[in-house]
Structure 1
Amino acid sequence: MRTYLLIITLLFSSIVSSQKFLDPPKLDIEDLKLTSYAKNTSEPAEVLYKSYHYYITEGDLHLDVISRVKIYKKDDAKKFLEEEIYTYMGKNNNIEKVTSLKVNTYNLENGKIATTTVDKNSKYQSKENKNYSVTKFAFENVKDGSIVEYKYSVLSPFLYVIPRVMVEDVAPIRYFEYVFDAPKHFGYNINYKGTLNPQKRDVSEKVLYGTEARTYRFAYKDIAAYKDEKYVNNIDNYRTSIRAELNSTDFPITSNGAYNTGISGGFKSYGISWSDIRKQLYEDENFGDELKRTNLVKEILPEDIKSIKDKKERAAAVLKFAQNKYKWNGEYGAFTDKGIKQLIATNSGNSAEINLMLILLMRSAGLDAEPVLLSTIGRGLLTSYSPSIAMLNYVIAFIDFDGKPVLYDATSKMTTPNLIRPAALNYFGFVMTKTDAKQINILCPEKSVTYLTVDAKLNADGTFEGNFSDRDTMLYAMMNSESYDKDKETYQKESYKERYKFPYTNIKSGTTEKGDFQTSFDFDSDSFVDGIGGKLVFNPLLFLYNKSHEFDQTEERRSPIELYTGYDKIKKVTITLPDGYVFENVPKSKKFRTEDNAIQYVYKVTQEGNKLTVETTTTVEDPVYPKEYYPAFKQIFDNITKLEGQVVTAVKK
């Protein structure tokens, strides 16, 4: 009998619980009487019971889900009142199906339980894209104090990757369980991520559904809420979760496959190392075979690009050529969809097609480009100890210039060497050559700079007029440029009209010749000055002063601080007084920093006659900080807010 690998990253508690697996408690009228969560009355909801039961029978994967949630504050619990069930649609009519969906709302009426069943017409299905379908539903007759419950099953032909299940949620959970039952012929890795220990655990072999099976069962009680936190790219990376992935099968050779799975007899391994996954990629027609199609690109690059002597300049020119010629269709993928040939015909493709094409073009220009496979931020973090081909959904190009790696991404016209799409900045990826798989860092290597500049004139009547510009470089420029191109009106509304309530005109946004992104406008306002005893009092930073900041979390930080990129934020305000006026109570310059210079701040004041310039520089060196840095961020930004709150006075001579 073969041994199958079980990966669990922490020691489990052996506390015995009286709760049986897959035995949901009956609806309790006492729960309907509750008006608030006892441990924290501010909680809008409490998950009373939730279970995920995966099991394999006759070559199909089954999932049964039960969720029961107490709603304390309806208006703040919208997350639990509108649900979505995603199902995968594969090739050859292999699709997942939702069955037995039941949705109920329970209320207490005249001391009895009243049930509202969601009508079938309130449940609907919509196709999200070519690979996923989503079944959506909303609860009816929900009030403060209601209990909402849904149950459903999913039938799936996909046995290789069992979807990740999040154990922790934004609300407290009274009881949660995860069960996965698989015939012994299937070997699965159980990837357990997070710090939460189950109160009850059963990993054993037993007879289930008429066959010898392995079962993995984890139960949890009284789970604290894991709230969303600011400056976290994907908080599900840090909540406790469980995912199973097939690593091997071992069917009798005479069976010629089992349960109509199409899996052959004998022992077969499925990608249990990143090198194994590399091999699978190069054997796949939608990846490895596409990288062999060198004949398709021989005549595409102009000779003036191929003849550039400096390799880095040549690579940058190939990138620019690909950016201008091919357009990303918005779909992520580690594999091609319609293929390189179709990309050449239509000039449009998914991320794999765009960047595999970039690699082929670079190779045709004599450059040793290799693919890097990674998971986007929305997909989740890769783990070195639990390789997963299913987690891969993005490809970029990689060239090693004498030990100095450079990354290339042609899915955006704003990318440059080593500046790739923000969604791909997910800690690390793997360079996949024909012979090796090597892990590399995928973080933004250079800081972005934001320049906020105001040139203003104070009038004797207390009004200000002037102009403002907001210029971003590097990653910030890319992010703002793409938001603007997607919806110009929404970008300007959310970035400026909703932030600045004073009148302004002549707003312009766009990309500069240097590749920066800039917005500017003119303003004329009477809202910045207080007249006190014939004196004009105002904050010299005008509308660039913020009364608060976003490092304001009071509870203990649980996740790292993720900023996409290190940055410098520079505010520069120059104020000219009217004739006959002078400054009084001018603030003094000041600066402070952390001991390791990770965060720095400078408040600089200069005066020349009737002109006053205040320039502040906030520097955050790195794109990611461990959670232990949060108190330092909070303290420094508290001090910044206090310092920038100083005012200056203008008086007539």
Structure 2
Amino acid sequence: MKINRLFLCTFLFFSLASIAQDKLPFKFGKLSPADFTQGVPAFDTGAHALVLGDVGVSRIVPNFNGGFGYEFERRIRVKILDKNGVDAGKFLIPVYFSKTNDSKEEVKSIKGTTYNLDAGKITETKLENNQVFTEKQSRNYHIKKFSMPALKEGSIFELSYRIESDFLFEFRPWVFQGDYPCLWSEYEIEVPEYYDYVYLSQGFLPYHISTKKEVPRAYKIRGGDAGTMGLKQNDFTLNGSAMQKRWVIKNIPSLKEESFTTSLENYRSKIEFQLSSIRYPNSNPIPILEDWPKVTENLMSHQNFGDQLKKAEGYVEELLVPVLAGITDPVEKARRIYAYVRDNYTCTSRGSMYTSTGLKNLIKTKSGNVADLNLLLIAMLKSQNIEAYPVILSTRSQGQTHQIYPLMDRFNYVICAALIAESEFLLDASSPDLGFDKLDIRCYNGHARVLMKDPVPIYLLADSLLERKVTMATVIVDKDSLKGGIQTNFGYYESQSRREYIREKSENAYFEQIKTSYGTDYSITRTHIDSLKKLDLPIKVYYDLAIGREGEDIIYLDPVLVPFSRENPFKSTSRMYPVEMPYRIDETYLLNFEIPEGYKVDELPKSVKVSLNESDGSFEYIINADASRIKLRTRVSLAKASFNPEDYDSLREFFGFVIKKQAEQIVLKKIANP
């Protein structure tokens, strides 16, 4: 019996402990002075505020229109850790209204309280109704805006609000990972059997809890017009079942911006929902989520997309008569048309998939957004019987698209695909610095879609790009100065960024920037740039570099005058999401240094070769010296542009090693009695 009792007690202890771990560790509305002792969490030591608990519940329930809507409730408790954390008390709640019917969302209740501990006693300050404001962004989009009152260092606040919505297609998502660390984030949904949703979960944080269960439900459908149930009759009860799902993540660090990140939104831990189909009783399933052929059909008939191409037939061809005079080769025609649009039309916005002005007005005003310019390009190519199609994509800062589900709000850009004989060309006429068959680096963001009869996926990957850069330096030392001649052959995308800088600033400003990087003691003369206006080619930059000296006995020389990087971009000790560079790297630096007469090498860095994760990259530093000359060759090569989080430590260490090694000096010493 003693053994049995011991077993029973042990079993009950662990069972209760397990149950306790599955529930929020506090009750909203109940605080004690001990709750104010919570400090900065060990997993996010730089935090200014801490979310103690964030709980959301969404349930699809009958509405007043003879069908279903959903209710969303949220409760959150936050501790302000220091004065910089008071922004955690600012809230924006979006509210939507239909453009075509009476469907809408309403915020039914907003309740908030700020708690402060003063002289051992808890004081309360309520959020008043007159502190909540409504901003009307448009007819269809409003924002409820407010800040929690009486916030200061050490405050705890609680907030709850409820939203009633008719928009089942855009079921409320849940973000687990925000701008502040969170000890407990929980979301629960309840969906009747009549609705099928696609669940889109992302992020690198594991679920502490992920459960689902089916429960019986009786839904009282209110009478009225046909409503969403497709029925017209008095109130009735619909017996069925619902699926309850619950997700919990604990001890969530804040998501921080890091070097080489396309968009933080790609890696924020969250869950989204898209309505796929509806299956009402005694009815055939109704598909909701469209496929790519249907999406393409819709876009090609849209008045601000494909319809513009149809309207352009008949009036763009005459614009090309002087542009294409005497040209018969289709590739050369495509080049001329591309250059004509790029050089004669100004892009006013590079973040839209739909035209802003229409092609006819674009031709008059000579300015429009990226869709205006590239759809005009497509129309002009088609007028010359060149096969051309729109390609929709998402730029790197916008976030990634979904290759299976055509979630159109993720697309924000359109380019042109031209098919000529056996060759394919991707064109973007919106940038004045891009050559033919080149895309802006921000377009390389994975999945894109060619809008042809059978829509084709293409993949624009940073790993497909290689930037080769070679810098050659020749340095001599005389009695008055150290002089060097520098030549850098840039890769294409570094060339593009420098062309853009020079176009916006000036060539003088560019070389002044180079001079600043060396320091005020250096002078730069005989500057020159090759191929600056030849947009299909990379550029070459030349300049002479000099710094004064006074015939000292010891000369300290920095042999790498154009280093791979001056500081390590990877400052954090850990990283939870990938490193995404814009391209693969192959960078070489060559030095030819003449040892001045009367000096000898006293200290010389050692040659070295290292690899990154065996095959992901390499670095070599090869240096040789004789009595009159020092030669150095250093090369950094990265075999891929994207690195997984588990590669971060080795990548950070690799960059650190390269930077430290390239900073090593050569020491020359005057010969005592030459």
Class of the TM-score when normalised by the shorter of the 2 chains: 0.7 to 0.9
The aligned residue for residue 199 of structure 1 is: 209
Conserved 8 A contact 1:85-1:136: yes
Q: CA deviation at 1:220?
A: 0.7
Q: CA deviation at 1:177?
A: 2.4
Q: In structure 2, what is the Cα distance between the partners aligned to 1:40 and 1:539?
A: 39
2:117 aligned to 105, 108, 124, which one? 108
Letter in 2 for 1:31: D
The aligned residue for residue 31 of structure 2 is: 28
Structure 1: tracts of 5 or more residues without a match: 1-14, 254-264
Q: CA deviation at 1:433?
A: 0.8
Letter in 1 for 2:209: Q
The aligned residue for residue 286 of structure 1 is: 304
Q: CA deviation at 1:140?
A: 6.3
Letter in 1 for 2:29: K
After the TM superposition, which residues 199-218 of structure 1 pair with which residues of structure 2 at under 5 Å, given as runs?
Answer: 199-202=209-212, 204=214, 206-207=217-218, 214=242, 217-218=245-246
2:341 aligned to 307, 322, 340, which one? 322
Q: In structure 2, what is the Cα distance between the partners aligned to 1:182 and 1:598?
A: 46
Q: In structure 2, what is the Cα distance between the partners aligned to 1:85 and 1:525?
A: 59
CA RMSD of aligned residues (A): 4.7
The aligned residue for residue 388 of structure 2 is: 369
Q: In structure 1, what is the Cα distance between the partners aligned to 2:550 and 2:141?
A: 55
The aligned residue for residue 560 of structure 1 is: 578
Instruction: Indicate whether 1:387 and 2:427 are aligned.
Output: no
Instruction: Indicate whether 1:512 and 2:540 are aligned.
Output: no
Q: Deviations over 1:525-576 (max 9, x none)?
A: 68x9997xx3122332257486752345543x53333112112233455556
After the TM superposition, which residues 152-163 of structure 1 pair with which residues of structure 2 at under 5 Å, given as runs?
Answer: 159-162=168-171
Q: In structure 2, what is the Cα distance between the partners aligned to 1:483 and 1:132?
A: 38
Question: Secondary structure in 1 aligned to 2:434?
Answer: coil
Instruction: Indicate whether 1:51 and 2:50 are aligned.
Output: no
Q: CA deviation at 1:373?
A: 1.9
Aligned residues: 619
After the TM superposition, which residues 374-523 of structure 1 pair with which residues of structure 2 at under 5 Å, given as runs?
Answer: 374-401=393-420, 405-434=424-453, 436-444=454-462, 445-450=464-469, 458=477, 472-482=490-500, 501-503=519-521, 512-515=532-535, 516=538
The aligned residue for residue 242 of structure 1 is: 271
From the superposition, tell whether residues 588 and 177 of structure 1 become closer, same or farther in structure 2 (CA, over 3 Å).
closer
The aligned residue for residue 273 of structure 1 is: 291
Question: Secondary structure in 1 aligned to 2:247?
Answer: strand
Letter in 2 for 1:333: S
Q: In structure 1, what is the Cα distance between the partners aligned to 2:99 and 2:665?
A: 66
Q: In structure 2, what is the Cα distance between the partners aligned to 1:605 and 1:613?
A: 6
Q: In structure 1, what is the Cα distance between the partners aligned to 2:512 and 2:29?
A: 47
Q: In structure 2, what is the Cα distance between the partners aligned to 1:440 and 1:378?
A: 19
From the superposition, tell whether residues 560 and 361 of structure 1 become closer, same or farther in structure 2 (CA, over 3 Å).
same
Conserved 8 A contact 1:24-1:49: no
The aligned residue for residue 10 of structure 2 is: none
Instruction: Indicate whether 1:178 and 2:187 are aligned.
Output: yes
After the TM superposition, which residues 91-170 of structure 1 pair with which residues of structure 2 at under 5 Å, given as runs?
Answer: 105-115=114-124, 142-151=151-160, 159-162=168-171, 164-169=173-178
Structure 2: tracts of 5 or more residues without a match: 1-17, 223-237
Q: CA deviation at 1:470?
A: 6.7
Q: In structure 2, what is the Cα distance between the partners aligned to 1:416 and 1:133?
A: 42
Question: Secondary structure in 1 aligned to 2:493?
Answer: helix
After the TM superposition, which residues 550-589 of structure 1 pair with which residues of structure 2 at under 5 Å, given as runs?
Answer: 550-551=569-570, 553-555=572-574, 557-572=575-590, 580-589=598-607
Q: CA deviation at 1:439?
A: 1.5
After the TM superposition, which residues 7-26 of structure 1 pair with which residues of structure 2 at under 5 Å, given as runs?
Answer: 25-26=28-29
Conserved 8 A contact 1:37-1:72: no
Letter in 1 for 2:581: L
Q: In structure 2, what is the Cα distance between the partners aligned to 1:155 and 1:295?
A: 50
Conserved 8 A contact 1:548-1:641: yes
Letter in 2 for 1:161: E
From the superposition, tell whether residues 86 and 380 of structure 1 become closer, same or farther in structure 2 (CA, over 3 Å).
farther
From the superposition, tell whether residues 71 and 92 of structure 1 become closer, same or farther in structure 2 (CA, over 3 Å).
same
The aligned residue for residue 189 of structure 1 is: 198
From the superposition, tell whether residues 409 and 65 of structure 1 become closer, same or farther in structure 2 (CA, over 3 Å).
farther
Question: Secondary structure in 1 aligned to 2:374?
Answer: helix
Of residues 355-364 and 177-186 in structure 1, the stretch that sits farther from structure 2 once superposed is 177-186
Conserved 8 A contact 2:617-2:638: yes
Question: Secondary structure in 1 aligned to 2:556?
Answer: strand
Q: CA deviation at 1:648?
A: 0.9
1:220 aligned to 241, 248, 251, which one? 248
Q: CA deviation at 1:226?
A: 5.9
Conserved 8 A contact 1:306-1:314: no
Question: Secondary structure in 2 aligned to 1:305?
Answer: coil
Conserved 8 A contact 2:390-2:415: yes
Letter in 2 for 1:647: Q
Question: Secondary structure in 2 aligned to 1:220?
Answer: strand
Question: Secondary structure in 2 aligned to 1:161?
Answer: coil
Q: In structure 1, what is the Cα distance between the partners aligned to 2:49 and 2:511?
A: 33
Q: CA deviation at 1:425?
A: 1.6
Letter in 2 for 1:351: V
After the TM superposition, which residues 580-599 of structure 1 pair with which residues of structure 2 at under 5 Å, given as runs?
Answer: 580-594=598-612, 597-599=615-617
Instruction: Indicate whether 1:645 and 2:634 are aligned.
Output: no
Q: Deviations over 1:339-367 (max 9, x none)?
A: 33332332222332222222212212222
Q: Which has the larger radius of gyration?
A: 2
2:317 aligned to 265, 287, 298, which one? 298
Of residues 473-482 and 368-377 in structure 1, the stretch that sits farther from structure 2 once superposed is 473-482
After the TM superposition, which residues 69-88 of structure 1 pair with which residues of structure 2 at under 5 Å, given as runs?
Answer: 69-75=78-84, 77=85, 80=88
The aligned residue for residue 619 of structure 1 is: 637
Q: Percent identity?
A: 23
Q: CA deviation at 1:112?
A: 2.3
Question: Secondary structure in 1 aligned to 2:409?
Answer: coil
Q: In structure 1, what is the Cα distance between the partners aligned to 2:184 and 2:517?
A: 43
From the superposition, tell whether residues 126 and 481 of structure 1 become closer, same or farther in structure 2 (CA, over 3 Å).
farther
From the superposition, tell whether residues 300 and 53 of structure 1 become closer, same or farther in structure 2 (CA, over 3 Å).
farther
Letter in 2 for 1:106: Y
From the superposition, tell whether residues 599 and 114 of structure 1 become closer, same or farther in structure 2 (CA, over 3 Å).
same
Letter in 2 for 1:201: T
Conserved 8 A contact 2:276-2:289: yes
From the superposition, tell whether residues 226 and 252 of structure 1 become closer, same or farther in structure 2 (CA, over 3 Å).
same
The aligned residue for residue 8 of structure 1 is: none
Letter in 1 for 2:654: I
After the TM superposition, which residues 310-349 of structure 1 pair with which residues of structure 2 at under 5 Å, given as runs?
Answer: 310-349=329-368
Instruction: Indicate whether 1:231 and 2:239 are aligned.
Output: no
Instruction: Indicate whether 1:358 and 2:377 are aligned.
Output: yes
Q: Deviations over 1:598-624 (max 9, x none)?
A: 413232446697664544221223332
Conserved 8 A contact 1:16-1:200: no
Conserved 8 A contact 2:189-2:246: no
From the superposition, tell whether residues 609 and 440 of structure 1 become closer, same or farther in structure 2 (CA, over 3 Å).
same
Q: Deviations over 1:408-459 (max 9, x none)?
A: 122212233443223322111122212x122111124332244556665656
From the superposition, tell whether residues 276 and 100 of structure 1 become closer, same or farther in structure 2 (CA, over 3 Å).
same
The aligned residue for residue 256 of structure 1 is: none
Question: Secondary structure in 2 aligned to 1:289?
Answer: helix
From the superposition, tell whether residues 312 and 545 of structure 1 become closer, same or farther in structure 2 (CA, over 3 Å).
closer
From the superposition, tell whether residues 91 and 522 of structure 1 become closer, same or farther in structure 2 (CA, over 3 Å).
farther
